[in-house]
Amino acid sequence: QSALTQPASVSGSPGQSITISCTGTSSDLGGYNYVSWYQQRPGKAPKLLIHEVSNRPSGVSKRFSGSKSGNTASLTISGLQAEDEGDYYCSSYSAINTLVVFGGGTKLTVL
């Protein structure tokens, strides 16, 4: 069982917006602004989309945005495109046990 909880799957049509949630505790996600989001396309290595809750690395599309409220973080993808299909993982610093915890991943399907 993953330390952070994500929905197993989400879907949306091209052009729509979707949001993926990631729920933790006050000892990890809720207590620190070290939330990251990764995209993993089939057979590929993960790619960093968001770090420190809402910061996009250079080269990442503005269609990807992150936020956090309490113990839940969210990744929003606007203007959904077919190339956005894949698995999305959240992660956070954790003050207990392991230092970095991941969510179980969310499979995004573009209809």
Partner 1 sequence: QVRLEESGGGLVKPGGSLRLSCAASGFTFSDYYMGWIRQAPGKGLEWISYISTRGSPVYYADSVKGRFPISRDNAKNSLFLQMNNLRAEDTAIYYCARVPYSSSWSFELWGQGTLVTVSS
- Binder of partner 1 out of 20, 29, 39, 46 (CB under 8 A): 46
d(CA 43, CA 54): 26
> What number of residues does the chain have?
111
**Which C-beta is closer to partner 1: that of 56 or that of 63?**
56
- Binder of partner 1 out of 99, 108, 109, 110 (CB under 8 A): 99
Smallest distance from partner 1 to CB 72, Å: 18
- Binder of partner 1 out of 39, 68, 105, 108 (CB under 8 A): 105
The binding track of 73-92 with respect to partner 1, each residue x by CB under 8 A or -, is ----------------x-xx
Is 38 a binding residue for partner 1 by CB under 8 A? The answer is yes
Cβ-Cβ contacts under 8 Å for 66 (sequence gap 6 or more): 35, 37, 49, 50, 53, 54, 55, 73, 74, 75, 76
DSSP reduced 3-state for 82:
helix
Residues that bind partner 1 (CB under 8 A): 2, 34, 36, 38, 40, 45-48, 51-52, 57, 89, 91-93, 97-105
